[in-house]
């Protein structure tokens, strides 16, 4: 299972981008693609149009809700990584991927590196 960060959702819409190629390749390989609810929210903040939303949604087997388990994990990550307010949304995305036992596909590797030692797998 591959969990998509916001930048993969956005850049996956750009024909010929590395992200669009990756989405197509993973889809052809039968890889389960999911999006954490916080990343989906960021994506929907756009600007995006309904056709773009439908296109990306077609790749996803699930938009993973951000519930109690994910909230607890995100709060734990927030504390373990020094309570850096700049990383709050990234922590929510990381927590969702960790709870789903999914690797996170992101272009913002530096922002997510603090979470790797706490269980996050990056692609």
Name residue, tokens 């390749």.
25
Using DSSP's 3-state secondary structure scheme, residue 75 falls into helix
Number of structural domains (the chain) is: 1
Low-confidence residues of the chain: pLDDT under 50 = none
pLDDT for 102: 98
HSE of 111 in the Cβ direction (CA atoms, 13 Å)? Answer: 18
pLDDT for 86: 86
117: its two tokens: 């030692």
Name all contacts of 55-61 with Cβ < 8 Å and 24+ positions apart: 55/13, 56/9, 56/12, 56/13, 59/12, 59/23, 59/27, 59/33, 60/4, 60/33, 60/34, 60/35, 61/32, 61/33, 61/34
Output the domain CATH number for residue 102. Answer: 3.40.50.1010
pLDDT for 47: 96
pLDDT for 92: 98
Domain that holds residue 97: 2-122
């Amino acid at each position: 299972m591959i969990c998509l960060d916001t930048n993969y959702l956005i850049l996956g819409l750009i024909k010929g981008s590395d992200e669009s190629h990756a989405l197509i390749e993973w889809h052809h390989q039968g890889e389960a693609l999911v999006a954490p609810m916080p990343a989906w929210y960021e994506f929907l903040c756009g600007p995006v149009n309904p056709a773009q939303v439908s296109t990306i949604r077609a790749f996803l087997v699930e938009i993973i809700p951000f519930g109690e388990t994910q909230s607890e994990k995100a709060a734990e990550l927030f504390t373990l990584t020094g309570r850096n307010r700049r990383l709050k949304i990234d922590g929510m995305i990381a927590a969702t991927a960790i709870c789903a036992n999914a690797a996170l596909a992101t272009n913002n590797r530096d922002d997510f590196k603090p979470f790797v030692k706490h269980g996050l797998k990056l692609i």
